Structure 1
Amino acid sequence: MNSRDTSKRPAVFPIGSFDAQSIENALALMGPKWTTWTVMTMVQEGRPLRVRDVAARLPFVSEQLVGKRLATMHTAGLVIRADTRRGAPYQLSTLGESLTPVHRTMADWSRTYLSSGATAEAERVEDAVQRLRLRHTTAMVQVLDAGGPMRFVHIAEQAGLDYAFTQHRLLRLQADGLVTRTGTRHGDPYVLTEAGQALGPVYATVEHWSAPLVTRWTPAPPAPIATAQRTHSGVPLGADGARTAAALRRSAAAPTSLFNHAPQPQPRVSASVTVQSAPGRSR
């Protein structure tokens, strides 16, 4: 009986077990506005589309902007073209097609913990990406997951960030519903919200999706730093790469097999739904 009950429990993905830099890089590829809408449109059509074809299905985005976004996605490897002729159609690459489970997981997380209202799936996913993609957000979430409640000075020290940056990022994390304070007084500790605590499956799908790109993001060895500069608070401010490396030393490899169910088709983004839910959150 006990073993049967255990087998029915959902998989657990510890937030601290993922590589924060890989997640940040992957979210950067997904982050430019209208990327999710474009990917979902191309998934639904299931055939190569020209810029004007995509724009016709996204009436709230100009054709010029759709063209720019597809060019950016082409550079990122999310779409490919059959040839180099001007006006040649685009189609999703294998990498772009594999975003479907990432979108589904993000939409489920958003619907459960952020907003259960009627919102177009693509808008829900784009909103989730914007909440998660900022630099060092993942590292700070990992620090709070491991040691919260924590005062901001301790978060800064654990993440290897300076105090001013940490305060600024915590304000944004609060606005995005990922972090809250335990009291109203200055200096009260911060903790993850329920939405922040539930990010394990989201990070798992994002890191799994980013695995083929790891070699592209392997950084060159950092240049030696003779003397670390310090702020008035005593926190090292060296190069950005050095701070990021310090923040990521806690990271470990993620599970290689993350999905135990077949991908489900993305819901269609009809014109009526997209007009009603046109960008409700500005970033």
Structure 2
Amino acid sequence: MPAQPTAFPIGAVDAQRVEDALSRIGPKWTTWSVMTLAEEHRPMRVREVAAQLPFISEPVVSKRLATMQADGLVIRDGDHRWAPYRLSPLGESLAPVYRAISDWSRAHLSQDRMAEAERVEDALRRLDLRQTTAVIQTLDGGPKRFVHITEEVGMDDSWARHRLLRLQADGLVTRTGVRHRDPYALTEAGQALGDVYANVDHWSSAVERTTATAPHPVAAAMRNHVGAPLGADGARPAAALRRSTAAPNVLFSHASQPPPRVSPTLTAQSFPGRGR
């Protein structure tokens, strides 16, 4: 496997390709499902996955795994109703992507102790909305006024206002002043997205090679992630996960976190041979 990139200019990525890749891994509970299958490292039936994720109902787990199968992240050992799921090679190759996202989150979003799957999903909710990457790329060149952003990205005014408000709420974009015409600029967190985009771009090339016939990922994103404000749903599970405890997480190469009561701790054994 080629060496993973360590730095990458934000403006050098293909924004549409990155967004397509993020839309595969961004829908809620995808990271938790991947990490559960990775930790167990064996085929698992829906009820077995659900048993490891007690804050998600079994029907939700079933639907999530079915979408992940359509997106090439998991495969089934058989075609009968109860056939178990396991990670595909594409799903197994997500470790560097998760690690980059977790590093970025810890450095620029929150120092709070939480399960790694929760941290990654929190970060992905900020990144995988439609045209977010394009807006960040546009602002990477320096502050720009609203009209210039809409022109460069190709957004209508109403959609651009909605997206910029969300990016501000998520801590990726800020306004340089209080006047109507004052430009928008990237925050420190927005400016630091190079490594995240590098790893997503690297992973997306594998998506293109191995899942050319899979359903277009944007369709899955539109079905499952419609851009509700961060924290608008799942508040109870998120609070429960923050209270959970777990073993040291070698996959992400970070110091020991207060580990979740639930199963997905994602140790090095989760992705054998995939250390730093």
Report the TM range for the smaller structure's normalisation: 0.7 to 0.9
2:206 to 197, 206, 212: 212
Q: Does the alignment pair 1:265 with 2:251?
A: yes
Change (3 A) 1:18 1:82: same
Q: CA deviation at 1:217?
A: 8.4
Could you say if the C-alpha distance between residues 87 and 272 of structure 1 is closer, same or farther in structure 2, counting changes exceeding 3 Å?
Answer: closer
SS at match of 1:271: coil
Is the CA contact 2:135–2:153 (under 8 Å) kept in the aligned structure 1?
Answer: yes
Residue 20 of structure 2 is aligned with which of 25, 33, 42? 25
Inter-partner Cα distance in structure 2 for 1:270 and 1:131: 23
1:38 maps to: 33
Matched, 1:151 2:145: yes
Tell me which of 102, 107, 111 is aligned to 1:116: 111
Shift of 1:105: 0.7
Residue number among 157, 160, 164 corresponding to 1:170 in the alignment:
164
Write the letter of the residue equivalent to 1:178: L
Quote the Cα distance in structure 1 between the aligned partners of 2:187 and 2:62. Answer: 38
Which aligned pairs between 1:11-90 and structure 2 lie closer than 5 A? Answer: 11-90=6-85
| 1:133 and 2:128 are equivalent in the alignment | yes
TM-score (norm 1): 0.73
Amino acid across the alignment from 1:265: L
- What is the CA-CA distance between 1:212 and the residue it aligns to? 2.3
Distance 1:85 1:12, change over 3 A: closer
- Write the distance in 2 (CA, Å) between the matches of 1:96 and 1:90: 12
Identical positions, percent: 61
Q: Is the 8 A contact 2:7 2:198 kept in 1?
A: no
Q: Normalising by structure 2, report the TM-score.
A: 0.75
Task: Give the paired residue count.
Answer: 220
Unaligned runs of 5+ in 1: 1-9, 219-263, 275-283
Alignment of 1:94-109 (within 5 A): 94-109=89-104
Q: 1:57·1:271 contact (CA, 8 Å) conserved in 2? A: no
Tell me whether 1:160 sits opposite 2:150 in the alignment.
no
1:183 aligned to 177, 191, 194, which one?
A: 177
Q: CA deviation at 1:152?
A: 0.7
Judged with a 3 Å threshold, the aligned counterparts in structure 2 of structure 1 residues 273 and 176 are, in CA distance, closer, same or farther, namely farther
- The corresponding residue for 2:241 is none
CA deviations 1:29-50 (Å, max 9, x no partner) are 1122100000011111111111
Contact 2:6 2:198 in 1 (8 A): no
CA distance in 1, matches of 2:13, 2:97: 15
Q: Which whole-Å CA distance do the structure 1 matches of 2:262 and 2:85 have between them?
A: 25
- Secondary structure of 1:80's aligned partner: strand
